[in-house]
A = this chain, B = another copy of it.
């Protein structure tokens, strides 16, 4: 045992609480202290602040000793019962006080579930911390940042160069997705190499993008990988994802058959799809009108950074398009999810100043439907058909491929990387488990798969990995209008109650001198029933309120909130009995 280690060990005694002596041989004692030593060596700590219980809000922290690297900083679009919320961002309270330890933030690609929380969280973390990304991703971050009017420390990733971040070294390999310039990260740490895929799929014949760098992946595998953190969004689906080349062939068939105008609806962020439409428009001699602010922005950025191949003058205005024959026009817009304010809905609802649907139009929905949007999409498609258009969607033809690896691709990645540990990331818990099952089927040992919760710390040594009990997130951070974090469970519960049966407010005016009711209680109800047709019900509620108040009016002096609880309970019971509905009942007591 050398001097230094001895010194270090004795230091470990300081500040320790005395423990009852346990009988032990000198050998056991030595092993114990050596183990303790080992335990006190820094370990690699990895935690996902989001992305383990949802698709979205992706953000992972890698911590070794006093140094931290972050990968991705995304937002999550709200789920069905989060009424009125714009989106959710990760809770970064764990990083409070550790801001100066952050060596850098790596962003894998430019989609909002990976970049969207940047403008909300960076003011808190410190905008001097460098953010590293490929050129297109940086441009998209910059564009969004403009809305917030604050600057960032943005730095470019060259996927063929290593990046030193404190004691970490990051290496990159290109992956495919449905936007160009996506990278996966191999983070070399003191305990081993950890690979984070970001969003990925394998496309051996991609459109306007380089194929996934399988050779780099194989090389990483040869050198040894401690852990693979891999995208789970589609990993439970059997087979391989369809190549974008095949999608382009199907779209080509539609272009060949279309006799009138072609309208295409997709996400503005699917720049791969945008390229396909541009290529096909050029091939078939059509000009393109771009509709939708986000579509215009993204195409502008893609043009500027040369991520879009297009002939001069292919893009025209709506006014110019209206002068061309129908079979020379493509209108490319947002709105494939039936969003109220997106380009396609405005055109279909006759709210667009220059464009409307014509008989003979072919509308291509080139995207899948995000869960929760099915009914809006059906409403939109109904509108289109009513005006004489024909709609093509991915259920009829292969005109959309997802951006995420399916089961066979997930297996292939594991076979090439041969990681010691496997952590499925970026989806709901069940999808992570299904991904784990797929990986297990390759012979991967089940005990080496970790499936943590959001915020649950994981700890890695060169030979071991485990989930800790430590949960580092505390709450859900919702962005709603201007407010960040001011909408919580109570507000959402109230919104849900009102959504399902409305509100029923009873105003009691009380003489503060003698506690007597003045006049009749006023009743205000919204979203419950038609007040005009429900006089009997309202009168009943009024009488009930009066008699309930008479029975408990002593409470009006010092126990108003108790009084309100009683009124609320009695009225709720009455209304449920009469209508089988449960509006939110709110008693208001005014003393004059």
| A→B interface (CB under 8 Å) | 53, 79-81, 83-84, 236-238, 371-372, 374-376, 378, 381-382, 384-386, 390-391, 395-396, 428-430, 433-434, 437, 480-483, 486-488, 490-492, 494-503, 505, 507, 509, 518-519, 522, 524, 526-530, 533-534, 578-581, 584, 586, 588, 590, 592
Contact = CB atoms under 8 A, between A and B. Distances in A.
B428 A378 contact: yes
Given A486-B533, A491-B527, A507-B590, 12 more contacts: A237-B395, A372-B375, A385-B433, A481-B580, A482-B578, A494-B526, A498-B502, A498-B526, A509-B592, A519-B592, A524-B588, A526-B586
B80 A376 contact: yes
Contacts of A480: 501, 581
A518 B510 CA distance: 13
A520 to B, nearest CB: 10
Given A371-B378, A429-B382, A482-B579, A499 B495 contact: yes
A526 to B, nearest CB: 4
Contact of A84 (B237, B385, B505, B581): B581
Nearest to A427: B378
Given A236-B396, A382-B429, A495 B498 contact: yes
Nearest to A576: B481
A374 B375 contact: no
Contacts of A430: 378, 381-382, 384-385, 391
A481 B588 CA distance: 26
Contacts of A375: 79-81, 371-372
Contact of A581 (B434, B481, B588): B481
B498 A499 contact: yes
Contacts of A509: 509, 590, 592
Contact of A584 (B372, B526, B533): B526
Instruction: Return the 7 tightest CB-CB contacts between A and B, nearest first.
Output: A481-B580, A371-B374, A499-B499, A494-B527, A84-B500, A498-B498, A495-B527
B524 A429 contact: no
Contacts of A378: 371, 428, 430
Which of A395, A499, A528 has the largest count of B CB atoms less than 10 A from its CB? A499
Contacts of A497: 527
A529 B491 contact: yes
Contacts of A376: 80
A518 B512 CA distance: 13
Contacts of A524: 505, 586, 588
B491 A528 contact: yes
B483 A529 contact: yes
B529 A487 contact: yes
Contacts of A372: 80, 372, 374-375
10 contacts: A237-B395, A237-B396, A385-B433, A481-B579, A482-B579, A494-B502, A498-B503, A507-B588, A524-B586, A590-B590
A271 to B, nearest CB: 26
Contacts of A495: 498-502, 527
Contacts of A505: 505, 524, 586, 588
A152 to B, nearest CB: 23
A83 B238 CA distance: 36
Chain B CB within 10 Å — which of A428, A499, A524, A527 has the most?
Answer: A527
Contacts of A529: 483, 486-487, 491
Contact of A83 (B482, B492, B499): B499
A450 to B, nearest CB: 14
